[in-house]
Amino acid sequence: MEGIKSFFRVIYKNKQAFAGLIMLIAFIIMAVAGVFVKVDMTVQFDQRYQPPSIQHILGTDYAGRDTFLQLVKGSTDVLTIGIYAGFMTLIIGFIIGATAGLAGGWIDIILTFFTDLFLTVPTFPLMMILATTVKINNNIIFALILSVFSWAALARSIRAQILSLKEREFIVVCKAMGLKTPYIVFKEIMPNITSYLAINFVMIIQSAIVSSVGLMLLGLSPYTPTNWGMMLNLAIKNTGGIFNPKGYYYLLSPMLCIALFQMSCIFFSSGLDEALNPRLRS
């Protein structure tokens, strides 16, 4: 309990990180609310392009549907995909990076070559190809496609961190005492890279959300009308994008949400290292 209080105390003192945390909490509440929100997707031409009002906070779209409710509903899928992709990428990157750094020898050579190979390929075009060839019928498969090409940079960084840590005195002493590898990894190494993993987890979620919205915008993933990417797609195709002033609210709302979410991740991650690393706090 004291550790949690200390964490939030440090985040509160870092005004940028605190602002990021507040925005992230707002998006999480929005995503949870999206589970229960009912959106009427029937076409109502008499309600087309209504300006913001008490009844329609962000106005209506080209078919007379409430823009704000679509944003809220779509946030559930967007954030769920991002969190799943963040966990998958973190797990894959940690396992490969930690194995390469701890094992050394030919295992390290093979895993490093494998990692470097993934770092050289163009990520987003391959995601596009994979998204068109694999049947995506749930958010887990969508997140897996995003994480398949996102783990390499993290694995390389974790390998470098572990190579540095395993030569330090406290790790050498643990090996001399005959302590087993799982104990060394989870009791000695993990506490020293927790803040690094947390920062990367937040930034991976941010990157995964941008990639998922991009694939949805291009029409390369299952049709979900309230997804922010599909809202942008429909705004461009059916509203006329920037050429139709009546559709500005429908076009700009998901763009603003994506920008604010990216900003919140960057702000929040700026204080994570200090909050999770006791040596920096002291």
pLDDT band for position 10 (cuts 50, 70, 90): confident
110-124, 145-159, 214-228, range with the lowest pLDDT:
214-228
Q: What is the DSSP string of 98-124?
A: HHHHHH-HHHHHHHHHHHHHHHHS-HH
**Quick check: 169 and 196 in contact, CB under 8 A?**
no
In this model, does residue 127 exceed pLDDT 90? no
What is the pLDDT at residue 185?
Answer: 79
Residue pointed to by tokens 């009546």? 246
**Quick check: 261 and 209 in contact, CB under 8 A?**
yes
Closest CA to 143 of 96, 78, 229: 78
What is the pLDDT at residue 183?
Answer: 79
**Quick check: 222 and 136 in contact, CB under 8 A?**
yes
Provide the token pair at 273.
Answer: 């290292």
CB within 8 A of 11, min separation 6: which ones?
17, 18, 21, 268, 271, 275
Which of 35-39, 119-123, 241-245: highest mean pLDDT?
A: 35-39
pLDDT 10s digits, 159-177: 988 888 877 877 778 777 8
In this model, does residue 223 exceed pLDDT 70? no
What is the pLDDT at residue 259?
Answer: 92
Domains and CATH numbers, the chain: 2-281 (1.10.3720.10)
Residue pointed to by tokens 């940028």? 16
